[in-house]
């Protein structure tokens, strides 16, 4: 009996916190257990822990509830297949129970026994789980888990550090490779340009007429021009190096496996950061970079090549002028050679890219085309603007007068020839000056369009300013 009392108190202990905690811990069998034992559970809770009274009550309930309830419980027990330990309890308690249930029908006694056994089983299981939960909690509070948390944090910090170091390695490598790539591209474009001029290819007259004619025919003209350019392009390619296929164009000639891949990597890896880094690289490629924002990059390098070529060709003409010993520092307003240079410039500049430019800017009006056609004023303004963002001035500064002045003075410095970047700076002014003589033919025409052009340029420079 003593054992039995102890047993019931454990049941109570197990069940009472159980009803509170089960909702919290959300464990399945708690709910199930509550369902199955709901009636007897209430009984055990409400009745005093005196075994005889409880037994009587229980038997009353059994009588009222008919056999259905018993059947239910037995099926439940069948389903659960109680473990041997439970069965042994039943056997053990039997001795005491038999004495108590002397006057009762056999099936009732059996039902009670089964029920008690089952309840005991459930209670013990719940208790065990609860104890497990408590143990889990103590483990969680313990030093082992704390240590785990710390080591996890450390390992993740290491990971972050290692990854950031690798990333910075990559960035550094990309910077180097990009600089290399730029040089190669430039060199390549220069070579190309010399080829082109040597060939004296000229289809510009015809296409110019077509553009002037009508807006409708413009696309057609573009296509034709494109085709023609493509033809010329392949011809140059073939003329220059027949053995090489198209692709080396996109790869670094010295290292065909890696060149394009690196450029791509640069692009792929940092599309969002490229602007930020551009400023870092301004050291030697800056003028190319900054001016290429307003003109296509190919063109700037081409025109750079052209400039070099022209300066070679026309430096004798320039030196005729006593006031200007060198081409760069030539301050004379006009000279005999300059018109020819300007003409040459116009001829050589690939119209295709210009027109595409126009289209994309949705400024494709006849007027602006005409404007562009008649002078390179637009491009000179652009160059002027981009000059402001040349190395002497940080490109994020909106060009100011002083900046312009500074760049101008810089371009006139005698050191210009030696220093690569200053040479490039002077290139813009030189070009501007050269283009001047070409425009006087129609001075009125400028007044309208250049304004538009300037606003576009302003946009570009503002863009530069914000982004860098």
Partner 1 sequence: MTVLTVKTPHKMQSFGIFLREPPQNETTVTGDHRNTSPAMKKTIKKTIITDETSLENPDLGPFLLKMARDSIACGSENLDKALDYAIRASKSFERVSGSGVDLATCLHVVAAIYSSLGRLDEAIEELERSILMLDVENGSGVGMVKFCGYMQLGDTYSMTGMLDRSIFCYESGLKIQIDVLGKSDPRVAETCRYLAEAHVQAMQFDEAEHFCKKTLEIHREHCSPASLAEAADRRLMALICEAKGDYEPALEHLVLASMSMIANGQDNEIAAIDVSIGDIYLSLCRFDEAVFSYQKALTVFKSTKGENHSSVALVYIRLADLYYKTGKLRESTSYCENALRIYSKPVPGTTAGEIASGLTEISAIYEALNEPEEALKLLQKAVKLLEGIPGQYRTVAGIEAQMGVMFYMVGRHVDAWKSFDSSVTKLRAGGERKSAFFGFVLNQMGLACVQLYKIEEAATHFEEAREILERECGTYHLDTLGVYSNLAATYDALGRVEDAIRILEYILKMREEKLGTANPDVDDEKKRLFELLKEAGRVRNRKGKSLENLIDSNSLKMKKEGRRRWGAFSFRT
Site residues (CB under 8 A) for partner 1, limited to 155-214: 155-171, 173, 185
Which one-letter DSSP state was computed for residue 83? -
CA 10 to CA 254: how far, in whole Å? 85
Task: Rule CB under 8 A: say whether 217 interacts with partner 1.
Answer: no
Kindly state whether residue 283 participates in binding partner 1, applying the rule CB under 8 A: no
Return the closest-CA partner of residue 311 out of 326, 292, 322. Answer: 326
**Minimal distance, residue 404 CB to partner 1, in Å:** 21
Decide if residue 20 touches partner 1 (CB under 8 A): no
Compute the least distance from the CB of residue 256 to partner 1, in Å. Answer: 6
Among 83, 91, 98, 332, binds partner 1 (CB under 8 A): 83
Distance separating alpha carbons of residues 432 and 404, to the nearest angstrom: 14
> How far is 106 from 93, CA to CA, in rounded Å?
16
Tell me the closest approach of the beta carbon of residue 75 to partner 1, in angstroms.
13
- Closest contact distance (angstroms) between CB of 358 and partner 1 is 10
Q: Which of 279, 383, 423, 453 binds partner 1 (CB under 8 A)?
A: 279
CB of 85 to partner 1, least distance (A): 4
Which residue in the set 82, 184, 191, 210 belongs to the binding site for partner 1 (CB under 8 A)?
82
Complex with partner 1: residue 129 or 376, whichever CB lies closer: 129
Q: Which stretch binds partner 1 (CB under 8 A): 35-43, 75-83, 308-316, 433-441?
A: 75-83
For the CB of residue 156, give the shortest distance to partner 1 in the complex, in Å: 5
**Closest CA relative to residue 379, chosen from 330, 447, 431:** 431
397/394 Cα distance (integer angstroms) = 6
Q: Nearest distance from residue 278's CB to partner 1, in Å?
A: 8
Could you say whether residue 234 binds partner 1 (CB under 8 A)? yes
Pick from 190, 258, 374, 381: which binds partner 1 (CB under 8 A)? 258
Q: Which residue, 391 or 437, has its beta carbon nearer to partner 1?
A: 391
C-alpha span between 255 and 119 (Å, rounded)? 82
Q: Judged by CB under 8 A, does residue 94 bind partner 1?
A: no
Q: Tokens 């530069």 — which residue? A: 464
Among 74, 194, 210, 237, binds partner 1 (CB under 8 A): 237
Burial group, residue 228, by CB count within 10 angstroms (0-12, 13-18, 19+): middle
- In this structure, the chain runs to a length of 468
How far apart, in whole angstroms, are the C-alpha atoms of residue 382 and residue 399?
Answer: 12
Q: How many Å apart are CA 208 and CA 352, to the nearest integer?
A: 11
Residue 335 burial class via C-beta count within 10 angstroms: exposed 0-12, middle 13-18, buried 19 and up: buried
Q: Which is nearer to partner 1, 201 or 260 (CB)?
A: 260
Residue 184 CA: distances (Å) to CA of 1, 149, 421, 463: 99, 52, 17, 27
Q: Give ∠ CA 299-397-275 in degrees, rounded to 5.
A: 55
Interacting positions 107-136 with partner 1 (CB under 8 A): 125, 128-129, 131-133, 135-136
In a 13 Å sphere around the CA of 331, the CA atoms on its Cβ side amount to: 8
Compare residues 37 and 338 and give the one whose CB is closer to partner 1: 37
Per CB under 8 A, contacts with partner 1 among 310-369 are: 352-353, 356, 359-362, 364
Segment near partner 1 (CB under 8 A); pick from 11-19, 199-207, 252-260, 399-407: 252-260
Q: How many amino acids of this chain bind partner 1 (CB under 8 A)?
A: 116
Place of tokens 């559970």: 41
Least separation in angstroms between residue 300's CB and partner 1 is: 9
Alpha-carbon separation of residue 163 from 144, 157, 168, 169 (angstroms): 28, 10, 9, 10
**Which listed residue (255, 334, 402, 409) binds partner 1 by CB under 8 A?**
255
User: Is residue 450 involved in binding partner 1 (CB under 8 A)?
Assistant: no
Report yes or no: 396 and 279 within 8 Å, Cβ to Cβ.
Answer: yes
Among 272, 316, 444, 447, binds partner 1 (CB under 8 A): 272
91 near partner 1, rule: CB under 8 A: no
Among 260, 329, 439, 454, binds partner 1 (CB under 8 A): 260
Please pick, from the candidates 396, 414, 420, 442, the single residue that binds partner 1 as defined by CB under 8 A: 396
Nearer to partner 1, 46 or 243 (CB): 243
Interface characters, 26-45, with partner 1 (x: CB under 8 A): xxxx--x-------------
Three-state SS across 177-243? Answer: HHHHHHHHHHHHHHHHHHHHHHHCCCCHHHHHHHHHHCCCCHHHHHHHHHHHHHHHHHHHHHHHCCC
């Amino acid at each position: 009996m003593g054992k039995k009392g102890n047993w019931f108190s454990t049941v109570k202990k197990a069940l009472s916190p159980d009803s509170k905690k089960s909702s919290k811990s959300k464990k399945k069998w708690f709910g199930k257990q509550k369902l199955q034992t709901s009636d007897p559970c209430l009984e055990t809770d409400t009745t005093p822990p005196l075994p005889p009274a409880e037994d009587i009550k229980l038997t009353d309930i059994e009588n009222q509830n008919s056999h259905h309830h018993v059947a239910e419980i037995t099926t439940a027990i069948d389903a659960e297949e109680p473990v041997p330990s439970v069965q042994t309890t039943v056997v053990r308690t039997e001795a005491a129970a038999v004495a108590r249930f002397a006057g009762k029908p056999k099936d009732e006694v059996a039902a009670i026994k089964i029920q008690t056994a089952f309840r005991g089983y459930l209670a013990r299981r719940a208790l065990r789980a609860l104890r497990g939960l408590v143990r889990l909690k103590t483990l969680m509070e313990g030093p082992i888990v704390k240590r785990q948390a710390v080591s996890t944090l450390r390992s993740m910090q290491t990971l972050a550090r290692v990854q950031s170091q690798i990333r910075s390695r990559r960035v550094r490598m990309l910077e180097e490779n990009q600089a290399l790539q730029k040089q190669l591209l430039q060199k390549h474009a220069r070579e190309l340009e010399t080829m082109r001029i040597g060939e004296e290819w000229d289809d510009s007259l015809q296409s110019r007429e077509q553009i002037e004619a009508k807006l409708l025919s413009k696309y057609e003209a573009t296509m034709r021009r494109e085709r023609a350019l493509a033809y010329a392009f392949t011809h140059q390619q073939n003329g220059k190096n027949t053995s090489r296929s198209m692709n080396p164009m996109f790869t670094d000639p010295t290292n065909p496996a890696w060149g394009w891949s690196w450029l791509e990597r640069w692009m792929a890896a940092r599309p969002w950061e490229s602007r930020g880094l551009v400023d870092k690289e301004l050291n030697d490629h800056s003028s190319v970079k900054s001016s290429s924002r307003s003109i296509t990059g190919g063109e700037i390098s081409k025109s750079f090549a052209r400039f070099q070529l022209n300066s070679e060709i026309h430096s004798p003409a320039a030196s005729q002028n006593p006031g200007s010993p060198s081409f760069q520092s030539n301050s004379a307003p006009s000279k005999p050679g300059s018109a020819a240079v300007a003409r040459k410039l116009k001829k050589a500049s690939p119209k295709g890219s210009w027109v595409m430019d126009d289209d994309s800017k949705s400024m494709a009006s006849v007027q602006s085309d005409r404007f562009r056609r008649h002078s390179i004023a637009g491009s000179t303004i652009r160059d002027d603007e981009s000059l402001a963002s040349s190395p002497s001035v940080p490109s994020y500064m909106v060009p100011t007068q002083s900046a312009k002045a500074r760049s101008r003075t810089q371009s006139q410095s005698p050191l210009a020839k030696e220093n690569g970047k200053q040479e490039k700076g002077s290139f813009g002014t030189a070009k501007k000056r050269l283009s001047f003589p070409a425009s006087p033919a129609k001075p009125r025409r400028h007044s309208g369009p250049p304004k538009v052009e300037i606003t576009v340029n302003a946009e570009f420079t503002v863009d530069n300013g914000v982004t860098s």
